Amino acid sequence: MRVLGLETSCDETGVAIYDSERGLLADALYSQVALHAEFGGVVPELASRDHVRKLLPLVQQVMDDAGLQATDLDGVAFTEGPGLAGALMVGACAGRAMAYGWGVPAIGVHHMEGHLLAPMLEADPPAFPFVALLVSGGHTQLVRVDGIGRYTMLGESLDDAAGEAFDKAAKMLELGYPGGPQVAALADKGDTGRFTFPRPMVNRPGLDFSFSGLKTFTLNTIDACRSGGELSDRDRADIAAAFQEAVVDTLVIKCTRALKQEQLQRLVIAGGVSANTALRQRLEAKLAQIGGRVYYPSLAYCTDNGAMIAYAGCQRLLSGQHSDLEVAVRPRWPMTELSPVEVEEGRC
């Protein structure tokens, strides 16, 4: 089965074609970072308009790259949610219209399920069951995964997600947008020992997260440094290093706790923050200590992309699921509401 995947949930337009027998045939991504940079964050109306401009040219590009015609496709998958309502509507309308016009089924895909399944695009994917850490600008979640659609929520952020905390820390440090990569790059130049930042909620039971207090602590540290004059480059680097260390420590502690609780040794990390080098290194080292293994997607598939939507949609279409003719989006959509998919044991 060949499936065209469309991702338009936020500020990146992603298109890809996935073949259930040959794997990923082609993919393309357009990022709106430059468009939103002057505003310091995503402007929903601008994001929606840019998806309208870029989506169909990207579809044609991917079709050409794969050497396919519309008659060669067996289905269309689009991101139905969660995300920005207007941006989601662009992909949903286009995807549903193309599927109807081509006489193939369409399927609305859960954005975070796409991220969760992105490591399945790699040459050595994880077998079920495993624990997944989903970390992005809008979500920080720990999920037990027993199969596609078989999800048990173990813990999630009670306020700011990890990626959102990175973005807010970047603003406080007067860095550019997007904030996560900027903070990570600056942290590499800093001294993690100068400031001691809290590790939120690690000293209480459970697997939930909270990063709003860490944001406040960062602001107070910046204000304290400014009380003695201007914030220096050294101050910024050391604060960034301490902040990143606190976030990474918190995530590693909670992941280790989740694996122990579920008696599992396989961990998947996915979402934009999974590209963070410090987080990858710490999780790899920790999992090696306990005889486990960590899996994550290639860097190209950590951020929003069409490949993960095409893959997730293909699995659901193969199981006989499809969306009806109504064009609908779900800006808020708990992943635990998804129906299970029957696949070969251990692999998708």
Residues tagged in the binding site annotation for Fe cation = 111, 115, 304
Binding-site residues for substrate, in ranges, read: 134-138, 167, 180, 276
- Do 237 and 186 form a contact (C-beta atoms < 8 A)? yes
- Do 261 and 205 form a contact (C-beta atoms < 8 A)? no
If 0-12 CB within 10 Å is exposed, 13-18 middle and 19+ buried, where does residue 261 land?
middle
Determine the Cα–Cα distance for residues 218 and 220; give it in Å rounded to an integer: 5
Q: What is the largest distance, in Å, between two alpha-carbon atoms of the chain? A: 68
- Tokens 């308009």 locate to 49
- Tokens 């961990």 locate to 267
- Do 254 and 154 form a contact (C-beta atoms < 8 A)? no
55's tokens? 């989506």
* Residue among 143, 139, 161 nearest 332 (CA): 139
Binding-site residues, in ranges, read: 111, 115, 134-138, 167, 180, 276, 304
Q: What is the DSSP track for 221-286?
A: HHHHHHTTSSPPHHHHHHHHHHHHHHHHHHHHHHHHHHHHHHT--EEEEESGGGG-HHHHHHHHHH
